[in-house]
A = this chain, B = another copy of it.
Amino acid sequence: MKRVLITGSNGTIGSLLRALLGDRYEITGITRRPADHPATIGDIADLDTILPAFEGIDAVVHMAGDPSPSASWESVYRNNILGTYNVLEAARRAGVDSVIHASTNHTQAMWEVEQGADVYAPDDGRLLRPDDPFRPDSFYGWSKASGETLGRYYSDAFGLRVFCLRIGWVMGGDDPVAMDITGELVPPLPAEAVMARGRAIYLSHRDCAELIRCCLDNDTVRYGVYYGISDNPRQFYDISNAREELGFEPQDSAPV
């Protein structure tokens, strides 16, 4: 079994990955608070504390960081920039094969603001591709874009394989009908577009775990950036490279 280290192993996605992939991989974690699973307790902004957790690890799933689109500069500078450097650097020093970096749709969300809310309509043909230019809507989106670029450097310079996943909208309750995502986009969306966007970018727990599994079982990609969403009728992210390079086939979908 591959040995997988999840940073942020107590978070929403860390927890669902432990539940859905725990039989397939030997999973350990890094988390800031005491946990009910095998984990190093520590802050990813402190390199020395987290280094030992990377010994003997095959792949890292890097979920720790400030996940809020309204995060302050000070928070993303420390938690997302320094934290991601520390995770990549620790992985390099320990000879880890690959890092799956939790990125975000907020790296390009100003594209949506520019296009307007019609882009969320089910019959709208516009698609945003992962390699379109960065258009962050927030310090948070900027920090994740910078993390992707730092991953590219570690891949090119040190041979670390890096998968950047622009994860859609993963909810604790995993119920696409009960969504409320007020404030998800910065600047705020028109009220009538909030639900439409949520249904466009929904990613079910099962599809989320499957996307991560596709990365963990892949042995050819050197560096890639992928959107991760379920098979939603309102989708506007191009996930064709996730299908072709990773074999990702989402099984769930949000309602129209």
Contact = CB atoms under 8 A, between A and B. Distances in A.
A110 B156 contact: yes
Contact of A135 (B113, B150, B152): B152
A157 B137 contact: yes
A22 to B, nearest CB: 34
Nearest to A225: B133
Given A73-B85, A81-B81, A137 B156 contact: yes
Contacts of A82: 77
A139 interface: yes
Nearest to A113: B156
Interface string A104-142: 000000100100000000000000000101111111011
Contacts of A134: 149, 152
B136 A133 contact: no
B133 A156 contact: no
A84 to B, nearest CB: 11
Contacts of A136: 149, 152-153, 156
B156 A135 contact: yes
Interface in A62-89: 73, 77, 81-82, 85, 89
Contacts of A138: 153, 157
Contacts of A240: none
Contacts of A146: 81, 142, 145-146, 149
Contacts of A131: 133
Nearest to A151: B142
Contacts of A187: 157
Interface string A167-196: 000000000000000000001000000000
Given A82-B77, A146-B146, A139 B153 contact: yes
Interface string A87-104: 001000000000000000
30 contacts: A73-B85, A73-B89, A77-B81, A77-B85, A81-B146, A110-B152, A110-B153, A110-B156, A110-B157, A113-B156, A134-B152, A135-B152, A135-B156, A136-B149, A136-B152, A136-B153, A137-B153, A137-B156, A138-B153, A138-B157, A139-B153, A141-B153, A142-B146, A142-B149, A142-B153, A145-B146, A146-B146, A146-B149, A149-B149, A157-B187
Closest 3 CB pairs of A and B: A146-B146, A110-B156, A136-B153
